Structure 1
Amino acid sequence: MQNDAAAAAPPLPQPQHAVAPPFRPFGAKLESWTEWSRQFGFHLAAYRIQGNDRQPFLLAAVGVQTYRVIVKLFPRRDVATLSYEEILSALDAYFKESINVVAKRYTFFRTKRTAGQTNREWVATLQGLTRDCAFECECGLPYSDTMVRDAIAQNVSDVRIREQILKLVNPSLQQVMDILDRQDTLDFAQESFATSPPVCQVNRLARRAGCAKNYKAHLELKVNAQSKFFRARNVPHALRDEVAKTLHDLESQGVIERVQASLWASHLVILQKPSGKLRLCVDFKATVNPQLVTATFPLPRPEDLFDKVCPGKYFSKLDLADEYLQNTGGRRIPARFGG
């Protein structure tokens, strides 16, 4: 009974191939024949079009202009009798490009990174240009990666990147690209700092100098240090009242203190802030600074700082009022500020 039922059952439907959509016609002004034919081959493979079925698809897809070329290439044969391989081989020979290797290499070595282009995009452009540069040795092995590496070192606009590349002994293209990637990261961080909108409301505190906590500045005089005393310069009459008021404010805040006599005296430098108020500075260049033991400390480079803060999303900016006056000294050097 089971065998009879199986025999009576209708046959299962056979799987149907997907209907291939039309492929774009070949346009010599938009693409090369090699590019079009390779993509057309992928199109056929994607829809499982094989064997003799490929010929009508090719004739239907090439377009009117290319179809006329096929007719001219086979003047004594009917196009319908041609095989897919015959048509493709004839068109490959017809559209074969004569490449000027010297001109292509000239373009390759002159290609620099353009504005708005990332380093990765620039490298991809260089790698694409090597296709027609015939960078192959007599053994048949390509050396295009080496030429891309050399072109980067020659044309990179950032001198610091070039210096890093030239310090390496015969670096690989990947090593050079790692250097470029780090620079792209720094560029992104700098752009984020410059263009990021404010993410919080600014609270304006009292415009008065504070006091740094848990830190005291320490100045160490050299052995046999010689004190320097410079007479006060004349303060312009128009600024005398404002200078006196500023000095009084600093004294009342405990930033400076009045002394009756001192072996040290430096010139006062009067600057005007954008707000119109005065900023009083002291020129220690010829007095205290030469008598101090220099504290050498390597300042971090901007690249290292941006690399550390790059993963961050939100950034704050602190503007301290008279920040240089907020450090308290661990050792007092009596001084008189001359005008």
Structure 2
Amino acid sequence: MSEEKSFVGHLREFDVKINDWSIFKPRLLNYFTANNIDDPVRKRAILLNLLSEDSYRSIFNLCLPTAPERKTFEELITLFSDHFGTQTSVFAEREKIYSAKKLSSETANDWAARLRNLAAYCEFDEELNIALRDRFIVGYNKGPVMDRLFEERKQISLAEAIRIASSKEAARGKEATPFSLKGEPLFHFRKGSKCAASAKTSPSTSQEISANKMSSLWQKQSSVIKLSIPARPLPFAMKSKVEDELNRLLEMGVISPVEYSEWGIPEVPVLKPDGSIRICGDFEVTVNPHLEVDKYPLPRTDDLFASLAGGEEYTKLDLSNAFNQVL
């Protein structure tokens, strides 16, 4: 009996609606190399066998009046590349990298890796490292890390910039943060023409979220009792993430300091699927009972579907920071 030959690696089915040909093609060629498959007839058979029904139908139509099985492997690869290849605009791709900014949740290495991915179709050629270095530094968040990078001379390399940024971030992690949380922060509101919310951690350290639109919702009765609920315990595992989110909101101008507020609402930090934190407030225990609710009747589902009949384009809005965006 002949021994069954084992193959290195595994290739999944190629579906034009799901997969990217620019990624599938090099994987296919590497599979052939790793398994010493040199026969062009066998290569063609494997390629056609890996196609989904829609993909095979597409290549069948492209080959007419000749069947795909009568084309050579190289001819099929050329047809696929011409038909399924990604058409890109160099300047559109460069606009993406030039407008990219480092996310607060990214490390220096993560930021550099994302820039390399954005530069894939920019055709920087020999200027790639210079373009990446410049965007890595300029796209950094304002703060001690950017200030440290700005001190360098223009001869600095991308690798050196990443090393400096990583070292500075590590040093900042050991320093005391602007928010020394001993539990869950409070959201504070004060009644008046301007309604403000703050994430207060101590008598001398607080943050304020401006919310002018809520002022019209406060009841006018002077007998309303102001409530300030004590802070709830904050899990230590979430402490650093909550601090980072408060710092991010401060840098963006979403929150600003306030020295005193008559209202204190417990904060509810919500852990999102990507590991970041969304800052919410438990308004049911303080503010909600004193609001004048606009009791507007919600439309029926049937009426909504009837009004959308014949529509061709729809928009889905995802409020990643719903509390702050609504405010």
RCO higher in structure (CA 8 A, sep ≥6): 1
Q: Which has the larger radius of gyration?
A: 1
Q: TM-score, normalised by structure 1?
A: 0.47
Q: TM-score, normalised by structure 2?
A: 0.49
